């Protein structure tokens, strides 16, 4: 009798009690007509963020390279703005804002959801790495030792100074039998190099090179490049014209490559989303996007915000891709394992 009494009066904790609470909450929300009227500004901001991500390719570059600037940091539109808008919607207790926040979330997941999973595989027959060592690196010997410890068969270094080159050569000599330095970029390899030459990327000095690596599994054309730096200035916006010109020239050189297997290593000072790198990105695959885990941000090393150090391939299969621990540089080294031979 006592149990029946508690159930009838709602003093229990069973399904009837929970159902009563849900009905009570529904009634309170139904009577609160402001739940739909509040948060209109938050909802509008959510729609704007969604449209920016959805229509990023249509944002013009004619004024301060705005489109490229947005595309460089595009992943952060979801990482930063969606949680912030969600908090605002909850604080305002706005159903309208909560529904609107779903828009940028869905768009972001459509653009970058594929990067959230771990696509790292096993196997592969060639490990490559690239690192912008920073011209002002206080410990080039330690940096060389750290990147060599990655196990890379082929290693590219960018931003080499004339005074630092002998230091890197000495530090890497025991690991890599073959190497070549062209201007401010260099390539170290455990396998023979041939066809080594500078690549003209329309700068007036050498910041790119090409070599054939004769690995046991086959020959591979390896390009090393360091695109010109970009800056964000209040008056001029995103200054990247010189980088864009160099990217076009690099794209032309890769398009003219006669070997079917091609690997590009370097600091491109741009992300895969940046339309200004289309001359390169349209004909090659990013190892991070194809076989990595997460975004693989590489710069700045203290708090990585963007993946501007790239390993891209054509005619070889990416197996895994990762970032290496921080060195004395302001960039993180990045590495990848690829399959040269066809299964």
Packing angle of the helix pair 95-112, 82-92 (nearest 10 deg) = 170
- Given this model, what pLDDT does residue 25 score? 57
Domain boundaries, the chain: 32-115, 126-339
Domain covering 126-339 in this structure, CATH number: 3.60.10.10
Mean pLDDT, 10 residues at a time, the chain of 343 residues: 43 66 64 74 96 95 86 95 96 92 97 93 96 97 96 98 97 98 98 98 96 97 95 62 94 98 97 95 96 96 97 97 97 98 74
Task: Give the pLDDT score at 65.
Answer: 84
Per-residue model confidence (pLDDT) at position 30: 58
pLDDT at 222: 98
Q: What is the residue whose two structure tokens read 């229509």?
A: 55
Sequence-ordered alpha helix ranges (H) in the chain: 2-9, 15-31, 34-37, 40-54, 66-72, 75-76, 82-92, 95-112, 140-148, 165-172, 241-255, 278-281, 287-291
Mapped onto helix, strand or coil, the DSSP state of residue 106 is helix
Does the pTM surpass 0.85? The reply is yes
């Amino acid at each position: 009798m006592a149990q029946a009494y508690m159930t009838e009066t709602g003093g229990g904790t069973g399904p009837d009690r929970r159902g009563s609470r849900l009905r009570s909450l529904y009634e309170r929300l139904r009577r609160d007509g402001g739940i739909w009227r509040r948060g209109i500004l938050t909802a509008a901001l959510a729609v704007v963020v969604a449209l920016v991500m959805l229509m990023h390719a249509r944002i013009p570059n004619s004024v301060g390279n705005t489109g490229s600037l947005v595309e460089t940091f595009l992943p952060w539109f979801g990482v930063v703005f969606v949680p912030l808008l969600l908090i605002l919607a909850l604080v305002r207790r706005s159903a309208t804002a909560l529904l609107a926040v779903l828009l940028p979330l869905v768009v972001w997941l459509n653009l970058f959801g594929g990067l959230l999973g771990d696509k790292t595989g096993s196997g592969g027959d060639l490990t490559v790495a690239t690192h912008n060592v920073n011209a002002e690196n206080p410990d080039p010997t330690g940096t060389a030792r750290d990147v060599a410890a990655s196990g890379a068969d082929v290693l590219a270094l960018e931003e080499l100074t004339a005074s630092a080159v002998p230091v890197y050569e000495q530090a890497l000599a025991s690991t890599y039998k073959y190497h070549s330095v062209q201007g401010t970029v260099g390539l170290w390899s455990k396998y023979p190099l041939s066809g080594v030459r500078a690549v003209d990327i329309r700068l007036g000095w050498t910041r790119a090179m090409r070599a054939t690596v004769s690995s046991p599994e086959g020959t591979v054309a390896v390009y090393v490049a360091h695109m010109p730096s970009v800056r964000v200035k209040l008056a001029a916006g995103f200054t990247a014209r010189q980088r864009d010109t160099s990217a076009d020239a690099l794209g032309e050189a890769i398009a003219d490559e006669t070997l079917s297997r091609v690997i590009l290593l370097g600091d491109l000072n741009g992300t895969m989303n940046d339309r200004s790198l289309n001359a390169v990105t349209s004909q090659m695959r990013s190892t991070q996007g194809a076989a990595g885990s997460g975004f693989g941000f590489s710069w700045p090393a203290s708090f990585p915000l963007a993946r501007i150090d790239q390993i891209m391939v054509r005619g070889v299969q990416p197996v895994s891709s990762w970032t290496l621990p921080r060195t004395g540089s302001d960039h993180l080294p990045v590495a990848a394992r690829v399959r040269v031979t066809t299964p």
